[in-house]
Structure 1
């Protein structure tokens, strides 16, 4: 089952008429305008939209270089012009696996206004999950914040019902997992999140920067994948 995590994205626009600048045509004064992008936090606060790797704005073709790519929150776009138009905005997820496109109505009815859009992330990777946890609940997280730190997979996570199943030794698998590199452990975390069920026990120890899972609550299919993954990484179990 695909994991889906939704967040509200706020597009903030500011515009004002430029003084001392001749209008483009009668009734169409030149204006300065800007757009910023934020995430909305659990208490309605504006948070950095750091879950996006880059943002691409598609301006009206009459602009010079109409495709603008920005890579740092708040993804500020500042321009001048006289016309109103719709701006397609492409939000590239941090893990680069998916892009979300929204259309922003650039208009000059108010000096400041904002629009709210809901963006849904499907099967986010470990780094993206950690950042998403800073702005709201994430399945498997104990609270709304996450620490971008090394995550450790272990095999206890609580009282295990048994140390072995019919094919695999849980103690050896747990020991093997702890010998993996940090990058491989992040892959393991994602494998567990992708394959977990309602009975899977997982816990994030935010303060210690660790990820705990009770291996005995995982499905046989997932256990086999983890076992093979550890062996493929050259760890003797």
Structure 2
């Protein structure tokens, strides 16, 4: 399983407008929400890793499900009430990340940063995610060039897709042993996420580092999973 984390920034702007409100104590507002990606330094980038955003608004809206296909996926509406919406961000027609966003009128402008996880991204999506952070061993190799000290060519490229497929073939005991190997030998920057409630263990194979990658490769081979 390959999983890449990124930060999504939701920027909300709102203002009072001179329209009659159905609720006398609540003035009419015009509001809009924009979606951006953040890199490791907190800089904004277009959210072009998504092909569309679907805003699921309060059911009282005439059109509560609004779709936008161009970054920054600006959703603009008018209303008097605050509510929580959900935003479905699609990387393909079927793959999506759902964020929950509190629309409120406390400030003229406010932003919220949330984390999204891209599981097993395609090569095209990986290339887009590269604009906002490292995506695998190619970036690691560029940032930390290695030198062979024994005169032998070191193997730095692994078939991570094959490794991910092999892990799905492991029995329960083998999988538990593999997870323990990862916990015992991972680096500080190795990304893992263990969701006990859902029974899911997620790891970005590209962040393992060469020693642990070789260890897992050998283990998967010994299990006849490769």
TM-score range for the pair, normalised by the shorter chain length: 0.5 to 0.7
Structure 2 counterpart of 1:6: 5
Q: Which runs of 5+ in 1 are unaligned?
A: 146-157, 162-188, 201-217, 227-237
Deviations 1:83-123 (A, max 9, x none): 1100011111x244532111110000000001111001111
CA distances 1:153-207 after superposition (whole Å, capped 9, x unpaired)? xxxxx9478xxxxxxxxxxxxxxxxxxxxxxxxxxx874684778549xxxxxxx
- Equivalent position of 1:211 in the other structure: none
CA separation of 1:96 and 1:23: change in aligned 2, threshold 3 A: closer
TM-score, normalising length from structure 2? 0.64
2:149 paired residue number: none
Partner of 1:84: 82
What value does the CA root-mean-square deviation take over the aligned residues? 3.2
Q: In the alignment, what sits opposite 2:15?
A: 16
2:108 aligned residue (106, 111, 119): 111
**Partner SS for 1:50:** coil
Q: 1:127 aligns with which of 124, 129, 133?
A: 124
Native 8 Å contact 1:51 1:128 kept in 2: yes
* Aligned counterpart, 2:24: 26
Aligned residues of 1:126 and 1:190 also touching (Cα < 8 A):
no
Change in CA separation of 1:133 and 1:192 when aligned onto 2, cut-off 3 Å: farther
Q: How many pairs were matched up? A: 167
Matched residues in 1 for 2:23 and 2:94: separation?
Answer: 44
SS in 1 for 2:126: helix
Q: CA deviation at 1:71?
A: 1.2
Matches of 1:193 and 1:111 in 2, distance apart? 49
Alignment partner of 1:36 is 2:34: yes
Aligned counterpart, 2:145: none
Q: What is the TM-score with the length of structure 1 in the denominator?
A: 0.61
State the structure with bigger RCO (CA 8 A, min sep 6), 1 or 2: 2
Show the counterpart of 1:171. none
- CA distance in 2: counterparts of 1:190 and 1:64, whole angstroms: 47
Partner of 1:61: 59
Task: State the alpha-carbon separation in 2 of the partners of residues 190 and 127 from structure 1.
Answer: 16
Q: 1:1-237 residue pairs with structure 2 within 5 A?
A: 2-19=1-18, 21-92=19-90, 94-96=91-93, 98-142=95-139, 159=153, 191=161, 194=164, 199=210
Could you tell me how far apart the structure 2 residues matched to 1:37 and 1:79 are?
15
Q: Distance in 2 between matches of 1:53 and 1:190?
A: 26
Gaps of 5+ in 2: 143-151, 167-204, 212-216
Take 1:119 and 1:160, find their aligned partners in 2: how far apart are those partners?
34
